[in-house]
Structure 1
């Protein structure tokens, strides 16, 4: 519990109390305006308490995260993503290191694919690039 009574945490506690009190006061103010005939204030009267609830949610989540400590943060090393080769850790090195990137070779098109359509489309794109002012309907092919 001593972790929650540092200078930074005392500032967070005070900020949470001030924000929640302010948001609830603004909600009450909007209710009084709505009762006076301002119909738009009904939406704000609902919105301000939601903001107060969000502040309490974030504060509570941070308190729980601090009380759990760093050991509950998860495993030290996760499995590397596809295409990344993880080097074996040596003694005295940090647990998180820069991954080694492996070059990927583009796959060849599958056998039996319709290359005539692809060639026609590439020809169309080449023609469009060679004629910058032309419209797609001007294409002679």
Structure 2
């Protein structure tokens, strides 16, 4: 439980409370407006508590993820660390990237096609032959 009382987590707890109280207050304000005759406010009166519920859901999910014990099969894993997928996103673990195999494909014969269409078809063939490559790797 000590992990939930770091400065970052205290900020998350405060943000969650402020957002939930604010959203519920806005929902109550919309109920009072709807009771005064503003019919569209009934929809907003329902939306604001849903937003508050979503904030609580995300906060609870993050708490559970933080308190989850580390998988035992990973070397050097300690209790309370995030799983591999979450640590790759935060940058605490080096991401493994597979190498991109670049295949040179000869240009299509210009036959009856115009130059732009032939170049675009060449690019599309290259993308199909190199599914792991980004468009910046295109040699043409």
Closer, same or farther: CA 42–71 of 1 in aligned 2, 3 Å: closer
Which consecutive unaligned segments of at least 5 residues does structure 1 have? 78-93, 110-117, 127-141
Closer, same or farther: CA 10–71 of 1 in aligned 2, 3 Å: closer
User: What is the rounded CA distance, in whole Å, between the counterparts of 1:11 and 1:107 in structure 2?
Assistant: 57
Larger Rg: 1
- Of the structure 1 ranges 94-103 and 4-13, higher mean CA displacement relative to structure 2 is found in 94-103
For residue 59 of structure 1, what is the aligned residue in structure 2? Answer: 59
Task: Tell me by how many angstroms 1:50 deviates.
Answer: 1.1
For residue 19 of structure 2, what is the aligned residue in structure 1? Answer: 19
> CA offsets per residue over residues 81-103 of structure 1, 9 Å max, x none?
xxxxxxxxxxxxx8634543221
> CA offsets per residue over residues 47-72 of structure 1, 9 Å max, x none?
10111011111111111121123353
User: What is the rounded CA distance, in whole Å, between the counterparts of 1:70 and 1:64 in structure 2?
Assistant: 11
For residue 29 of structure 2, what is the aligned residue in structure 1? Answer: 29
Which consecutive unaligned segments of at least 5 residues does structure 2 have? 69-79, 116-140
User: What is the rounded CA distance, in whole Å, between the counterparts of 1:20 and 1:54 in structure 2?
Assistant: 9
User: What is the rounded CA distance, in whole Å, between the counterparts of 2:13 and 2:45 in structure 1?
Assistant: 25
> What TM-score, normalized to structure 2?
0.58
Question: Is 1:100 aligned to 2:99, yes or no?
Answer: yes
> What TM-score, normalized to structure 1?
0.57
Tell me the SS of whatever aligns to 2:83.
helix
Tell me if structure 1 keeps the 8 A contact 2:34–2:40: yes
Give the RMSD, CA atoms, in angstroms.
3.2
User: What is the rounded CA distance, in whole Å, between the counterparts of 1:33 and 1:95 in structure 2?
Assistant: 53
User: What is the rounded CA distance, in whole Å, between the counterparts of 2:23 and 2:107 in structure 1?
Assistant: 60
Tell me the SS of whatever aligns to 1:43.
helix
User: What is the rounded CA distance, in whole Å, between the counterparts of 2:58 and 2:44 in structure 1?
Assistant: 21
User: What is the rounded CA distance, in whole Å, between the counterparts of 1:21 and 1:71 in structure 2?
Assistant: 29
